[in-house]
Amino acid sequence: MINSLTLFVTYIKNFKVLNQVRCASQVLPQFSSEKYKVKRKPFGTIEASDVDYFKTVLSEDRVLTDDNDVLPFNIDWIKNCRGQSKLVLKPKTTQEVSTILKYCNQKRLAVCPQGGNTGLVGGSVPVFDEIVLSFMLMNKIISFDEISGALICEAGCILENLDNYVRERNLIMPLDLGAKGSCHIGGNISTNAGGLRLLRYGNLHGSVLGVEAVKADGTVIDCLKSLKKDNTGYHLKHLFIGSEGTLGLVTKVAIHCPALPKAVSVGFFGVEKFEDILRLYANAKSSLGEILSAFEMADNDSISSTAKNLKLPNPISDYPFYVLLETHGSDEAHDSEKLTRFLEKEMESGLILDGTVTSDPAKMQTIWNLRENIAAAGLVEGYMFKYDVSLPLRNYYSLVPLLRQRLGAKASRVYGYGHVGDGNIHINVIVPKYSPEASSMLEPYIFEEVAKLKGSISAEHGVGFRKPQFIHYSKDANALQLMQQLKQLMDPNGILNPYKVLPEI
């Protein structure tokens, strides 16, 4: 008998602060196929002989068929989607991935690749009985060049482990996100994850030097160069960055790691209104220039509920909005002086109502904890509808009050926070319990509004299972047709992560 509490513990065991979380409802989520009324495509069905075959490719302990073992791989982090897979495979090498895919392609068995299962759009879990191919055992670092900063590793390496490894060698990973303790670098690349410091270090299309990937038919595509420059024909690695496991499975990664900053400072400020945040952002860019590494905002609801639900301290008092600003530089005295001067000047101008600046690692972590756990804190209260959109900065916060008004008492809370520097806001809507009525008040309304404002319906989380039917709000018909043609070329039987990213024709 499957115990939902065990399931929940499995979810959160990798998250440090999340260990404090208690789920409001410990009921297993409804099957995605029923909740979203999806029809199974005519794929093959797994038989005992298939399982026997996989046991010859992998050792027996890497072929999971027991319901209790398979369950956590069927449910996504947000507890929104639930698949019905009966089989999880855990390859350790590219050759094993290739052999598995070749067999699945021949037998038309669908496959759902899974990294750390922290994705927020239902892309990482099956919808029906797709085989889950987990990268958790492909976690070796292959090489690291301390001079060039090129790290080559397997796809299943956990982001935080990679960051710890390169930090010991005076470099950092070029991306950082709240899920770093669980997400895999292969998952990051497959979702083109953005994160907290994109403002400074750019996105993965810039920092990924090369990838090795396996096509649906088992062909290994070796683009694992660690060069900064390589203009030999089409830049194929980009096909795998952000394609969410629909064009090929990423098995190895070469990534450029920037230098470890010698001086890091964090400022946390209380602000009266959203327009003041925009003015502060413009002033921060001009006053702090090259050392600005993150500029994050959160509204009062985001911070007060995170502090309350997870019992995290808020170093300043209650304000309508908050800004978390970080600098990465090379001279501690110079950087913190610059930041303190910025704080003083903006307090005088009235844009900052109150604030604190620190270079103390423990204090900086306390502040980051508040920001990084906003998503997790919402899960405690009920069912979360989660949106990740990018908007022109002037309209960045405009959807939050609009949704509050539209949902009225139906929502327990509607709140917004995100990466101001990237124009990326996360909007969470908490309702006591999932209801199709609340869902239809939100969707497609929110995507229509985003399209009207010329934004994107997915800034960084991807399209996954939850958004293919809305992708047309952000991609034109010809672009969608080209995407379908690429899919047909690379995965003609459609076995890789079906029901995800591409809309039904």
Ligand X SMILES: Cc1cc2nc3c(=O)[nH]c(=O)nc-3n(C[C@H](O)[C@H](O)[C@H](O)COP(=O)(O)OP(=O)(O)OC[C@H]3O[C@@H](n4cnc5c(N)ncnc54)[C@H](O)[C@@H]3O)c2cc1C
Residues of the shown chain interacting with ligand X in the complex, contacts defined by CB under 6 A: 77, 112-120, 123-124, 135, 155, 177-179, 183-184, 186-188, 190-191, 193-196, 244-245, 249-250, 375-376, 460-461, 464, 497, 500
Nearest-CB residue for ligand X: 187
CB closer to ligand X, 78 vs 357: 78
Answer whether the bond into residue 444 is a cis peptide, omega within 30°.
Answer: yes
Question: In the chain, how long is the greatest CA-to-CA distance?
Answer: 73
Do 198 and 176 meet the contact criterion of CB atoms below 8 Å apart?
Answer: no
CB closer to ligand X, 149 vs 186: 186
**Cα–Cα distance, 179 to 346 (Å, whole number):** 32
Report the nearest approach of ligand X to the CB of residue 440 (Å): 25
Do 407 and 414 meet the contact criterion of CB atoms below 8 Å apart?
Answer: yes
- Residues forming a β-bridge with 111: 131, 496
Report the nearest approach of ligand X to the CB of residue 231 (Å): 25
Residue ranges of alpha helices (H) inside 21-177 are 32-35, 48-57, 67-74, 94-107, 159-167
Report the nearest approach of ligand X to the CB of residue 408 (Å): 28
User: What are the backbone dihedrals phi and psi of residue 141, each rounded to the nearest 5 degrees, phi first?
Assistant: -85, 130
Report the nearest approach of ligand X to the CB of residue 126 (Å): 9
- DSSP conformation class of 157: -
**Cα–Cα distance, 22 to 447 (Å, whole number):** 31
- Residues forming a β-bridge with 386: 428
CB closer to ligand X, 174 vs 195: 195
Give, to the nearest 10 degrees, the angle between helix 399-407 and helix 445-452: 150
Amino acid type, 109: L
End-to-end alpha carbon distance in the chain: 39
Question: Angle CA(80)–CA(83)–CA(85) in degrees, nearest 5?
Answer: 155
DSSP string across 361-403: HHHHHHHHHHHHTHHHHHHTTSEEEEEEEE--GGGTTTHHHHH
CB closer to ligand X, 246 vs 336: 246
Report the nearest approach of ligand X to the CB of residue 3 (Å): 22
CB closer to ligand X, 196 vs 209: 196
CB closer to ligand X, 79 vs 256: 79
Do 8 and 23 meet the contact criterion of CB atoms below 8 Å apart?
Answer: yes
Structure tokens at 215: 């096509």
Residues whose CB is less than 8 angstroms from the CB of residue 344 and which lie 6 or more positions away in sequence, other chains included: none
Q: Which of 195, 164, 185 is nearest to 253 (CA)?
A: 185
Report the nearest approach of ligand X to the CB of residue 191 (Å): 4
CB closer to ligand X, 187 vs 423: 187
CB closer to ligand X, 191 vs 293: 191
CB closer to ligand X, 406 vs 475: 475
Report the nearest approach of ligand X to the CB of residue 453 (Å): 21
Report the nearest approach of ligand X to the CB of residue 257 (Å): 17
H helix or E strand, kind and range, residue 134 = strand 131-134
Report the nearest approach of ligand X to the CB of residue 213 (Å): 7
CB closer to ligand X, 118 vs 314: 118
Report the nearest approach of ligand X to the CB of residue 175 (Å): 8
Report the nearest approach of ligand X to the CB of residue 118 (Å): 3
- 174: exposed, middle or buried (Cβ count in 10 Å: 0-12, 13-18, 19+): buried
Q: Quote the distance between the C-alpha of residue 233 and its chain's center.
A: 30
CB closer to ligand X, 299 vs 422: 422
